[in-house]
Amino acid sequence: MKTASQHLHAFLLILLVSLCMAAIPAQARGLPDFVPLVEANSAAVVNISTSRAMELPSGHPPLQLPEGLPEDGPFGDLLRRFFGERGGSSTPPPRGFDSTSLGSGFIISADGYVVTNHHVIQGADEIEVRLSDRRTYTAELVGSDPRTDVAVLRILAQDLPTLTLGDSESLRVGEWVLAIGSPFGFDHSVTAGIVSAKGRNLPSESYVPFIQTDVAINPGNSGGPLFNMDGEVVGINSQIYSRTGGFMGLSFAIPIEVAMDVVNQLKDKGYVSRGWLGVVIQEVTRELADSFTMERPTGALVARVLPDSPAQAAGLRTGDVILSFNGVEVPRSSALPPIVGRAPIGKPAQVEILRDGKPMTVEVVIGELPTEDELAQSRPIAPVPAEPDFKPFGMHLEKVPDELRERLELTDGGVLVTEVEAGPAQRAGIRRGDVVLMINSHSVQSLERMKEIVDALPPGRAARVLVQRTQGPLWLPLDVPE
């Protein structure tokens, strides 16, 4: 049995070990030491504020200060600044006021080039850049690219501190990263976390394979740098995923290679060129993969080949599954746009596809991505249902009206779904107003051809149906009954 003296000695030993552990620096305990990184790089991170003149509505009434509020007080001055003088004043109310937003950025050259997000400076009439030493400059907008959310500014200053650019490709999931920015206007706030994933493709951003992290990013951090532990910029903090508007553990940064390609193009020519294939694509689901007899869902399924596009010239077809592009695997549909976007324009690319269950390679000469206006499609009108002739899988069908065909830009073929009863078609997601264009690899040219295709489908096997609807073409998996 231990004596009281032995218990006391054991307690003192545990206490001594605990105190020694507390005295050991974090880095020695296996945790990163961010202090040198922050001290070496903070000076090149800037705060960005913008202002935009907002017109007041016509006939805006003159300001009436609340009773008892002194006219010469600070609240009276503030209200007058935004809404004009009190009623009865000979001075007319101003027609506008400044709307201000905040963001972050960083200096990439000693002669004043600054990188930030497009959404930070979008619509701004004036852009102000404030350095860590409180020097403030009015910035010139060199160029901005909404597709990647990157913007380049220039301030008239020399011998500025700059940041070292790194390599985001060498980042590993689980690696420590750090952000410096101005969340909610709190200049040079530092937050840290790890790389959660790489190559994330978000629905709103088709041309950026984002770096996902759990670094705390909030409004005002946008445009600030993401550092690796060597103090190199590996990304630009751009977006968060949130249900509340604040940080919830999911933040996304633009890889520095993607950003700098945009920056260099904006500096050189004022706009950004991207490669273009000219296909509308969708995800290969497990059910669609079964219809292709694929072992697993992978690739990008072609739902439409755009007219006069590189894809059309190369012979790509609706229903092809793009598996790789220039040797780079396409694991899912969202991975294809950024790969194609970085491809050299006017140069041939090798596209590996799956067609009718057989792999093959097609050579495509990459074109230049048109503008958003050039890509805009007409909005189709809602079809009027009519009495169907027959009802395969619960679909009522009829010939496509000429007006709808013109709106949908359908050259030929297709049958209109006017009603969907309970059954395989309804379970597949086919709905009233869809135009059936293809079943498997067979084009539906008419109601008669539709019946021939349906009659030849093997029972108990999954089929795929291409429909055209308001939002565009879409492949759907259809279970053919036994």
Closest CA to 435 of 464, 470, 459, 462: 470
At residue 384, does pLDDT exceed 80? no
> Residue 239, class by beta-carbon neighbours within 10 Å (0-12 exposed, 13-18 middle, 19+ buried)?
buried
At residue 411, does pLDDT exceed 90? no
At residue 414, does pLDDT exceed 50? yes
Query: Which residues lie closer than 8 Å to 358 by C-beta, 6 or more apart?
Result: none
Numbers of helices and strands, H then E, in the chain: 12, 27
Q: Where does the pLDDT of residue 346 fall: very low under 50, low under 70, confident under 90, or very high at 90 and above?
A: very high
The pLDDT score that the predictor gives to residue 56 is 53
d(CA 55, CA 34): 46
- Between 414 and 47, the more confident residue is 47
At residue 298, does pLDDT exceed 90? yes
| C-alpha distance from residue 133 to each of 109, 110, 136 (Å) | 17, 15, 9
d(CA 380, CA 360): 35
The pLDDT score that the predictor gives to residue 317 is 92
Query: pLDDT tens across 28-83, in order?
Result: 456 789 999 999 999 999 999 998 876 655 554 554 545 554 555 444 444 444 44
Q: What percent of the chain clears pLDDT 90, i.e. is strictly above it?
A: 48
- Between 182 and 376, the more confident residue is 182
Query: pLDDT tens across 110-139, in order?
Result: 999 999 999 999 989 999 999 999 999 999
Q: What percent of the chain clears pLDDT 70, i.e. is strictly above it?
A: 79
- Between 255 and 400, the more confident residue is 255
Structural domains in the chain, sorted by start: 42-59+74-154 (2.40.10.10), 164-269 (2.40.10.10), 275-375 (2.30.42.10), 392-479 (2.30.42.10)
Closest CA to 380 of 302, 434, 417, 307: 434
What mean pLDDT value characterizes the chain? 83
Catalytic residues: 119, 149, 222
- Between 325 and 85, the more confident residue is 325
Q: Where does the pLDDT of residue 93 fall: very low under 50, low under 70, confident under 90, or very high at 90 and above?
A: very low
Are residues 419 and 432 in contact, defined by beta-carbon separation less than 8 angstroms? yes
Q: How many CB atoms lie within 10 A of CB 148?
A: 26
Encoding tokens for residue 417? 């779904």
Q: Any alpha helices (H) in 235-332, and if so which ranges? A: 256-269, 286-291, 310-314
d(CA 469, CA 460): 27
Beta strands 150-154 and 113-116: pairing type? antiparallel
The pLDDT score that the predictor gives to residue 181 is 94
Closest CA to 436 of 426, 423, 446: 446
The pLDDT score that the predictor gives to residue 251 is 93
Closest CA to 324 of 350, 305, 363: 350
At residue 354, does pLDDT exceed 50? yes
